[in-house]
Amino acid sequence: MEKGYEKYGKRYRKIIQLEDFAETKLSEQLYIKFHGDLGSPETIVFTTEDYEKRMNETQNALNIRLRSDLLAKNLLFVGYSFRDINIQQMFAELNEAFFGKLPVSYMIAYKYSEELQILCDEYGIILIDPLKECPAIENHETAFKHFLKRVLEEARIKKLDNEMKEFFTPTSSRPVKVVNKQKIELLEEIVNRNSFSVGIKAFRQICDASNIPSDFEKRIVNAFIQLAKSVNNDKDTESLNAAIFNLKISEPLNKLEILSTLMATANVRSPKCKYGSDNFFIRIQVISQGCYIVAAAKAIEKVYSWGWKPTPSLSSNINDWIEYGANFETLPEQLQQYVLPWVNKMRNDCKTVAEHPIKRQQRLLEYSSFVSSKSLNENEVKLLCEFISE
């Protein structure tokens, strides 16, 4: 168990004896080692004599804690055989004392058996057989693993619903969330296996206002790209746009990747008039609007790489993003040679009555006092050159 905590970066407090409870904090996750720890040999419960000694210790701190949990909580036993005489005795005593009205407990069997079913029935525990829950799987070990993953996914989605309610109607101060490896692996699995609506909920639950370690940023961006590929309509694009509001991405290249990906989703939006116009407003902190001209070209590249055909809605939005981006004429040659071919390709494959966006930008800069001529600073030029080279 400790190896699992270490692998997925989860913090916990190990509880072996009474003194350990005194050091716990309210927000800590407790790992109670009911049968002791090798680091404290005197706490180990292994032999028949050890079990008998534990059962006779009615005031043992761990026994008291388990009794308290049995009285106040719904317990879930995972892959547990229920052959522990100590725990059986506690269930029997508490069931008798409280007339069988303990909170319902559940057990996910590693391998179902009639013997285990009889034990669970005796103590009022609902036994779950993964093979019955996953009828397409014939092997009990595979069914057990598959069912646990499914339970974890559904628990995350349920937690998301609760956290979204708490987010909009907070009843207490919120702790700082941190994205860890376990959460990212879960997010990737949900996004890859489910619909956009399920994936975006999981993304918001895990990423909203969460601190994202730099080593994990790229994986979060990749999950965002996978979500973008599954959008179908205006509502989906708006949901994806809303997801960046509390997304704590710090690496500028990753911010540009998010921006261009979101721009690419304009391709599925519905035209708002017969000429195909649309207005998809996107804003990402720290990325200046001058960078939008290059990000827009990158969005066109993404549309083609995803196997999509450019639409009038995309073309309309590209026009707007280029209009308010940096002056094309001030871009270094490397950026010009990247932007122009992609814009031309889009216009060749998606015929519109609209003026060429770069020509339009230049005309407006020349004749309109309402359009400001933006230019990129040295750091932005360097960043964008690196961005288009990826």
Q: Could you read off the pLDDT of 191-249 as tens digits, one per residue?
A: 999 999 999 999 999 999 899 999 999 999 999 999 999 999 999 999 999 999 989 99
Separation between Cα atoms, residue 300 and residue 338, nearest integer Å: 11
Count, residues in the chain: 390
Residue 5: is its pLDDT beyond 80? no
Predicted pLDDT at 42 = 84
Choice among 8-12, 96-100, 340-344 with the minimum mean pLDDT:
96-100
pLDDT of amino acid 212: 93
Residue 295's closest CA among 286, 287, 285?
Answer: 287
Q: Encode pLDDT of 92-134 as tens digits.
A: 766 666 666 778 888 899 889 898 888 888 878 899 999 999 9
Position 99 scores a pLDDT of 63
Averaged pLDDT for residues 261-288 = 88
Which tens digit of pLDDT belongs to each residue from 125-157? 899 999 999 988 989 899 999 999 888 888 888
CB atoms within 10 A of CB 86: 19
List b or e across 321-351, with b for residues whose CB sees 16 or more CB atoms inside 10 angstroms: bbbebbbbeebeeebbebbeebbeebbeebe
Provide the β-strand partners of residue 14: 31
How many CB atoms lie under 10 A from the CB of residue 134?
A: 18
pLDDT band at 173 (very low <50, low <70, confident <90, very high): low
Q: Are 311 and 267 in contact (CB under 8 A)?
A: yes
Task: Please state the pTM of the whole predicted model.
Answer: 0.59
Q: Given its phi and psi angles, is residue 36 left (phi above 0), alpha (psi -120 to 50 degrees) or beta?
A: left
Helix H or strand E encompassing 173? none
Q: Is the pLDDT of residue 170 over 70?
A: no
Closest CA to 252 of 213, 217, 298: 217
pLDDT of residue 368: 62
pLDDT at 338: 97
Across residues 56-79, what is the average pLDDT? 77
Q: Which single residue is written with the structure tokens 């965002």?
A: 224
Residue 154, pLDDT score: 87
Per-residue pLDDT band for 71 (boundaries 50, 70, 90) equals confident
**Bigger pLDDT: 192 vs 1:** 192
Instruction: Give 304-333 pLDDT, tens digit per residue.
Output: 999 999 999 999 999 999 988 999 999 999
pLDDT at 171: 66
- The residue with greater pLDDT, 28 or 135, is 135
Q: Which amino acid is at 281?
A: F
Q: Are 322 and 290 in contact (CB under 8 A)?
A: no
Please classify residue 365 by burial: count the beta carbons closer than 10 Å to its beta carbon, then call 0-12 exposed, 13-18 middle and 19+ buried: middle
Predicted pLDDT at 100: 67
**Whole-Å CA distances, 351 to 142, 160, 341, 361:** 53, 43, 16, 19
